[in-house]
Amino acid sequence: MTIQTANLGFPRIGRHRELKFALEAYWSGKADRASLLDAAKRLRAENWRLQREKGIDVIPSNDFSLYDQVLDTAVMVGAVPAAYGWTGGPVDLDTYFAMARGATGAGAACGHAHHGGGHGVPALEMTKWFDTNYHYLVPELSADLTFALTENRPLEAFLEARALGIHTRPVLLGPVTFLKLGKTRDGSDPLALLDRLLPVYARILRELSEAGADWVQVDEPALVLDLSGAERDALRRAYAGLAQAAPGLRLLVATYFGRLGDNLDTALSLPVAGLHVDLVRAPDELDAVVAKAPDGLLLSLGVIDGRNVWRADLAALARRLAPAIARRGAGKLQIAPSCSLLHVPIDTALETALDDELRSWLAFATQKLEEIALLGRHAGGDGDGLAAADGAVGARLTSVRVHDPLVQGRLAALDGAAQRRHAPFAERQAIQHRRFGLPLFPTTTIGSFPQTADVRKARAMHQRGELSYADYKAFLERETAATVRWQEAIGLDVLVHGEFERNDMVQYFGEQLSGFAFTKHAWVQSYGSRCVRPPVIYGDVSRPNPMTLEWWAYAQSLTEKPVKGMLTGPVTILNWSFVRDDLPRETACRQIALAIRDEVLDLEKAGAAMIQIDEAALREGLPLRRADWRRYLDWAVECFRICAGGVDDATQIHTHMCYSEFNDIIEAIAAMDADVISIETSRSKMELLDAFTGHGYPNEIGPGVYDIHSPRIPEAGEMHALVRLARERLEDGQLWVNPDCGLKTRRWEEVKPALVNMVEAARRLRGDALAGTVTA
Ligand SMILES: Nc1nc2c(c(=O)[nH]1)N[C@@H](CNc1ccc(C(=O)N[C@@H](CCC(=O)N[C@@H](CCC(=O)N[C@@H](CCC(=O)O)C(=O)O)C(=O)O)C(=O)O)cc1)CN2
Ligand SMILES: [Zn+2]
């Protein structure tokens, strides 16, 4: 028995990151508009052909984007804020990129900044797409916004595919999720705009139908979130309207990233022709969905994991699906990935440096298409035809490479003591203040300094064997030394080594830990043209050798000032890696925590007096449903404490978090008990600090005063004013002065004057404090 197969979306960056290079060439003025659009068109064609070749019956279109699909939707419906100077009609490319990345006064796209735009227009705010490491641009809405169709992009994509002989199912971001992801400047409810938005969607659907589309995929991942009654009503109202938009056109509502849970009845009651469910995140929902779905509803079963890289156990899946098929009939079902394949790399075949065994365990987007096709052909059977394909799955679970008795023993012996610093914070603080003798408002940075083209080039040459390790190391030492001297010269109080040796704050550690595999070409889009290669955790994790020690020691040897040891924390490493599916996440995280603890203790032994453990992704890893928060936060905080718990009271533990909102989780942040936390606050004008004030947060805090996502250089006066706002909320003795985040994506020309100004701001603050001019 065969079942129809479908895909929800394919990575758009390109096998060799063609889109990244085309975008960056365009932004830098090295290539023109036509060559960018041409590169994009070639990528779309390549993706459609691949999906057809692999045997996918239902192929998506309009899953491509030059920058971000949420931005595309905003632009399509005319949600372009006045600041961008758009006056109607199709939104041109430079306005589009100005919304994505900001623009300088001349109206040209700015340097390599992704975000923020000097004197011209700032970019839209950017934030995490659900619980992924993909970032979308936040639609800026207002109560008086009138929507208008600027250009029917889904229609263009549909016609483009048809010209290649491929009949596609266009993808739209659903109106309710779109509004829910947006923000209104006036604080009004974005969903109040729904009735004005629906006619635009209706017109898009009508035009698609007239052009010959028979199905449209409408993504409503909001259905896996905690929804209010009003939000559920909005969904019902939206689809009651859209279902009437075009006679004969069928809508499939796609949900993903979690269980429907208490939204299941709402989802099943929408007057649409199809519903997609994520059966990887919510395997237990299959029975309920099948039992409750109205007879005529097409169910798209998301059984191939769109968020992870492991080969699926197809025989087991076929067996699991058999009862559903028997009950509903193959004609009313589709086999699909759990979500768009945007979040996985493109093809394992490029990973020629991985050993064959490991590679045989992996499925990237291309292999997932094959899995979907295979399952579609054999579903409903006894799985016999699939047994051969699954050899790799069994081999992985039992492989000796995966299991390390030493790690397991260490984990079993772990008790609460590992997590406890000796003295409470107040006592540690006194000891540390005596040890360091820092001034009030000590200045520091978050870790990385500019990753210039030269630094990346040297690393690439070293990897290709064109630069010896000795020469590469000497090069990095020169960069590090120059950066340490410069920090000293401008009068920063606490220095960093600059992270020049790191390709990425997660991958760098993944490459040195046992139990991790790393890839050469397995890029995944993070935002716009920026990509990451998430390491793959396949086995028990340990740290065979120190990972950062020599870089820290080298930097510290050059100065009397404290240089922070710089580590990425276990929760962030976990959240930004592909993780094992044969072990609970929290267990994998504890293993990483023990490895980082080893590094912390080695750094301390070598003399590091301050050690920063970055947990940039701790807040972002928060489960989508509030009911799941407590459990996650408990083990996430425990893991951080395992890293930090072994050090002396005189050793100062720092942590850093960015893009974070803390109100909901401030108690967990306090429970981490880092001596100093640096956070992103400059754009929110210190409002973020209210969370810390309201709860009487006792430890030290460095609220970011320099928005590193923008090429703009802040004045000393502005930063001084920001810290004055912070002083209204916190004690002087608690406050540090630092940027929002690392400086790796910035240029030296921006960083140098900005940090000089930051040091000047701290000097003025010390003057204020002496003069007692500001009440604390
Ligand atoms: N993992 C992760 N997630 C994160 C962040 C982060 O820093 N890391 N920050 C937040 C924002 N996300 C970000 C994601 C990526 C980048 C970023 O800068 N990515 C770089 C790649 C970084 C990298 O891995 N660099 C490698 C490889 C560089 C490269 O492309 N080399 C060329 C060759 C270059 C040459 O020959 O000159 C090649 O391989 O083709 C290196 O430096 O070694 C990019 O897309 O350009 C920044 C922020 C949230 N999530
Ligand atoms: Zn950061």
Q: At residue 109, does pLDDT exceed 80?
A: no
Answer whether residue 698 is part of any domain: yes
- Report the predicted TM-score, pTM, of the whole model to 2 decimal places: 0.95
Answer whether residue 8 is part of any domain: no
What's the confidence (pLDDT) of residue 164?
98
| Alpha carbons 604 and 648: distance in angstroms, whole number | 8
Q: How confident is the model at residue 711 (pLDDT cuts 50, 70, 90)?
A: confident
What's the confidence (pLDDT) of residue 113?
39
Rg of the chain, C-alpha, whole Å: 26
What's the confidence (pLDDT) of residue 380?
64
The protein residue whose alpha carbon is closest to atom 28 in ligand 1 is 456
Q: Running DSSP on this structure, what letter comes out for residue 583?
A: S
- Catalytic residue check, 433: no
pLDDT digits (tens, 9 = 90+) for 731-753: 999 999 999 999 999 999 999 99
What's the confidence (pLDDT) of residue 114?
37
Ligand 1 closest atom vs CA 20: 45
Q: At residue 710, does pLDDT exceed 90?
A: no
- The count of other CB atoms within 10 Å of the CB of residue 214 is 12
Q: How far is the CA of 114 from the centre of ligand 1 (A)?
A: 13
What's the confidence (pLDDT) of residue 107?
40
The protein residue whose alpha carbon is closest to atom 29 in ligand 1 is 456
- Point out the ligand nearest to the CA of residue 535: 1
Q: In sequence order, which residues have a C-beta less than 8 Å from that of residue 526 and are 6 or more positions away? A: 133, 134, 135, 532
Answer whether residue 642 is part of any domain: yes
How large is the ipTM? 0.97
| Alpha carbons 112 and 102: distance in angstroms, whole number | 11
CA angle 225, 229, 233 (to 5 degrees): 95
Percent of the chain with pLDDT over 90: 87
Which CATH number does the domain housing residue 610 bear?
3.20.20.210
Two structure tokens written together for 631: 């459990």
Answer whether residue 562 is part of any domain: yes
Q: How far is the CA of 357 from the centre of ligand 2 (A)?
A: 36
What's the confidence (pLDDT) of residue 120?
76
- Point out the ligand nearest to the CA of residue 454: 1
Two structure tokens written together for 87: 């006056």
Q: How confident is the model at residue 112 (pLDDT cuts 50, 70, 90)?
A: very low
Region 444-452 average pLDDT: 98
**Strands, E assignment, 112-167:** 126-128, 135-137, 140-141
Domain count, the chain: 1
| Alpha carbons 291 and 382: distance in angstroms, whole number | 22
In this predicted structure, which of 83-87, 95-99, 164-168, 381-385 has the lowest mean pLDDT?
Answer: 381-385
| Alpha carbons 719 and 759: distance in angstroms, whole number | 10
Answer whether residue 293 is part of any domain: no
Catalytic residue among 276, 654, 709, 720: 709
Region 571-599 average pLDDT: 97
For 659-663, which contacts have Cβ atoms below 8 Å and span 24 or more sequence positions? 659/127, 659/128, 659/616, 659/619, 659/620, 660/619, 660/620, 660/688, 661/619, 661/688, 661/691, 662/619, 662/688, 662/691, 662/692, 663/690, 663/691
| Alpha carbons 568 and 596: distance in angstroms, whole number | 8
Region 537-554 average pLDDT: 98
Asked whether residue 399 is marked as a ligand-binding residue, the answer is no
Q: How confident is the model at residue 386 (pLDDT cuts 50, 70, 90)?
A: confident
Assign residue 525 a region (left: φ > 0; alpha: ψ between -120 and 50; beta: otherwise).
beta
Region 592-621 average pLDDT: 97
Ligand 1 closest atom vs CA 459: 43
Q: Running DSSP on this structure, what letter comes out for residue 143?
A: T
pLDDT digits (tens, 9 = 90+) for 281-298: 999 999 999 999 999 999
The protein residue whose alpha carbon is closest to atom 45 in ligand 1 is 530
Q: How far is the CA of 618 from the centre of ligand 2 (A)?
A: 11
What's the confidence (pLDDT) of residue 695?
78
Q: In sequence order, which residues have a C-beta less than 8 Å from that of residue 651 and are 6 or more positions away? A: 604, 608, 609, 610, 611
Asked whether residue 658 is marked as a ligand-binding residue, the answer is yes
Answer whether residue 292 is part of any domain: no
The protein residue whose alpha carbon is closest to atom 17 in ligand 1 is 530
Q: How confident is the model at residue 558 (pLDDT cuts 50, 70, 90)?
A: very high
- The count of other CB atoms within 10 Å of the CB of residue 132 is 18
Q: In sequence order, which residues have a C-beta less than 8 Å from that of residue 56 and are 6 or more positions away? A: 5, 6, 7, 369, 372, 373
DSSP 686-754: TTTHHHHHHTT--SEEEEB-S-TTSS----HHHHHHHHHHHHHHS-GGGB-BB-SS--TTS-HHHHHHH
Answer whether residue 42 is part of any domain: no
Asked whether residue 764 is marked as a ligand-binding residue, the answer is no
Q: Which residues line ligand 1 (CB under 6 A)?
A: 133, 451, 456-457, 459-460, 503-506, 526, 530-533, 576, 745
Taking alpha carbons only, the member of 668, 695, 705, 426 closest to residue 571 is 668
Mean pLDDT of the chain: 94
Q: How far is the CA of 351 from the centre of ligand 1 (A)?
A: 18
- 135, 317, 378 from 382: Cα distances, Å: 41, 10, 8
Q: Which has more confidence, 615 or 690?
A: 615
Taking alpha carbons only, the member of 634, 609, 610, 612 closest to residue 621 is 634
The protein residue whose alpha carbon is closest to atom 33 in ligand 1 is 460
Helix/strand/coil for 172: strand
Taking alpha carbons only, the member of 222, 256, 267, 260 closest to residue 343 is 256
In this predicted structure, which of 257-261, 382-386, 529-533, 644-648 has the lowest mean pLDDT?
Answer: 382-386
Ligand 1 closest atom vs CA 17: 40
Q: Which has more confidence, 659 or 608?
A: 608
Pair 330, 379: CB distance under 8 Å: yes
Asked whether residue 656 is marked as a ligand-binding residue, the answer is yes
Answer whether residue 489 is part of any domain: yes
Q: At residue 45, does pLDDT exceed 60?
A: yes
Q: How far is the CA of 551 from the centre of ligand 1 (A)?
A: 20
Asked whether residue 19 is marked as a ligand-binding residue, the answer is yes
H runs (alpha helix) in 152-228: 153-163, 175-181, 194-210
Domain of residue 599 covers 434-771
Q: At residue 775, does pLDDT exceed 60?
A: no
- Point out the ligand nearest to the CA of residue 620: 1
